[in-house]
Amino acid sequence: MTAQTTTWREHLASPLTWHYAGFAVLLVAVVAMGARFGLDWAAISAHTHDTILDRQIKLHLLKSETEPLRGIDKRLLTTSDQIKTFYATRIPANYSTLAAQIGKLEVDSGVRLSSVRYSQRPPANNLSEIVIDAGINGEYPQVMKFINSVERDKIFFVIGGMSLTGQQGGMVNLRLQLSTWLRPADAAASGLPPAEEPGQQKEANSPVSPAGTPAREGQPQ
């Protein structure tokens, strides 16, 4: 047996050699486990990132969907107050108030109402529509002043249509259809006739009273 063989045997039998061998095996195992852990961590991180991103998107969409509902209780109270104010300030208290305001606009603008027909439609949404079909005579600036006054009046008027029925010199004859609204009880108390359906209305040829003053059709006597 040679000296070299003896040396190798001594090295193999040495506890230090086995410690080195065990450390090397352990190091390889740790490296392998570290690599596997790194791959798993990368996969988990990618999945977690996708999950978080997906939840952020869903949260953003949820916020967008619920945004119109935020403060809706306050907005409902505000809207309710606005409706009450509108009813109190822009809906006539009764037919007499409405007719008096039409007469005031006539005087203030300088026009002459050759005919005025009042009628009412069935109640809807807690209001009854009052239809006003008027024939207007006057100079062009006066007629325009009357129309502008109607549009800006405190009472809520809606112009449904107008048509030129005649013109002579500087005088203009105009037919104007208006609508306003009364509370159903006030409309019923007015005694106004039911409104004709569109297309069935006759021309506004107002009868003349014995005194020569155009009569207001549809007015309760």
What percentage of the chain exceeds 70 in pLDDT? 55
Judged on CB neighbours under 10 Å (0-12, 13-18, 19+), 69 is exposed
pLDDT in tens, 16-33: 555 556 656 666 666 666
What is the model's pLDDT at position 182?
95
pLDDT confidence tier of residue 155, bands split at 50, 70 and 90? very high
Average pLDDT for the chain: 76
Quote the percentage of the chain above a pLDDT of 90. Answer: 40
- Cβ–Cβ < 8 Å for 180, 150: no
Q: What is the pLDDT of residue 213?
A: 36
pLDDT in the model for residue 208: 33
pTM above 0.75, yes or no: no
